[in-house]
Structure 1
Amino acid sequence: MSNDAIPQQPYFLRALYEWCVDSGYTPYITVKVEGGAKVPAAYVKDGQIVLNIGPAAVRNLQMDNDWLSFSARFGGVAQVIEVPVANVLAIYARETGDGMAFSQQATKPGALEAVADEEEPPPSAPEGGPARPKGKPSLRVVK
């Protein structure tokens, strides 16, 4: 067996995305903007951006072991987003905050959310269901 371990992050990313969508939640990712990341610069704050990658907000979402890419509209303008998977700091459900952080900086205060123009509003939580979190997402750090 080789000493080069296959990174777990892209597998966790795809699994948590699928869990969010199957559960009716909106998957958000926090991204470190460097190393070839192509994102709308107007929404970057402190070198990070939070992106809604839910099916209502993006088109042609591709997640392989190295890159995450999709197209979305920001302020009415279509853009192609490309992010190295290694730059994804966290993925979480907007409605509950449940998810996973891949680095300590994933929940840096003041990160600006860049929400693509959605075609339809996200599903609301059922009555008595989970409320949208007020603070940071409840994420677990994976090393």
Structure 2
Amino acid sequence: MTSSKPYLIRAIYEWIADNGCTPYISVDATFPGTDVPKQYIVDNTITLDISSEATHQLLIDNEAVTFKARFGGVGHDLYIPISAVVAIYAQENTQGMEFPYEEHENYLDETEQADLPEAIPAKTGKLQLKVISGGKEQ
């Protein structure tokens, strides 16, 4: 069977949007094939607003999440392999789903790692998500 992960991401995206909230994804930016603006990566992770207001031509298929977005006024084409998505959640209340990090070789070489910004404070701790079942918190 194929992975259920892309189906879950699409379903949770729709659920978040249908409830008037803003869907965000957290991405392992070191996953091979991931193409995101490197200056916004913190602790090898980038968090992205994937709402219809923040993206253009959003596509969540079985291989990747792709879209166009502006960062600091500059347009970017983003490509995020499904395996690189580590969470999808509502920005307003953090309800959503986390996924386990998938094993891979870090694709950023030492020079690229050194180029990542240090001025952006890293968020500490684990993303606080709630388990939901049938629309009720557990």
Please tell me the TM-score bracket, short chain as reference: 0.7 to 0.9
Runs of 4+ in structure 1 displaced over 4 angstroms?
Answer: none
Q: TM-score, normalised by structure 1?
A: 0.72
Instruction: Please name the residue that 2:116 is paired with.
Output: none
- In 1, the alpha carbon distance for the partners of 2:122 and 2:22 equals 20
Gaps of 5+ in 2: 103-120, 132-138
Does 1:21 pair with 2:12?
Answer: no
**% identical aligned pairs:** 40
Partners of 1:48 and 1:111 within 8 A in 2:
no
- Alignment partner of 1:32 is 2:28: yes
**1:101-120 deviations in Å (ceiling 9; x for gaps):** 00269xxx9359xxxxxxxx
Report deviation, 1:138. 1.2
Report the Cα offset of residue 73 of structure 1.
0.4
Q: Is the 8 A contact 1:96 1:137 kept in 2?
A: no
1:95 partner SS: coil
Matches of 1:87 and 1:104, distance apart in 2:
8
Q: Which residue of 2 aligns with 1:103?
A: 100
- Equivalent AA in structure 2 for residue 76 of structure 1: G
Structure 1 residue 139: Cα displacement: 4.6
Q: Distance in 1 between matches of 2:62 and 2:123?
A: 25
Amino acid at match of 2:5: Q
Using the alignment, how far apart are the partners of 2:89 and 2:55 within structure 1?
A: 16
Deviation at 1:137, TM superposition (A): 2.9
Contact conserved, 2:67 with 2:78, CA < 8 A, in 1? yes
Aligned length: 111
| In structure 1, C-alpha distance between the alignment counterparts of 2:130 and 2:26, rounded to whole Å | 12
CA distance in 1, matches of 2:97, 2:83: 14
Q: When the two structures are superposed, what TM-score results if normalisation uses the length of structure 2?
A: 0.74
What's 1:8 paired with?
Answer: 4
Pick one of 63, 66, 69 that aligns with 1:66.
63
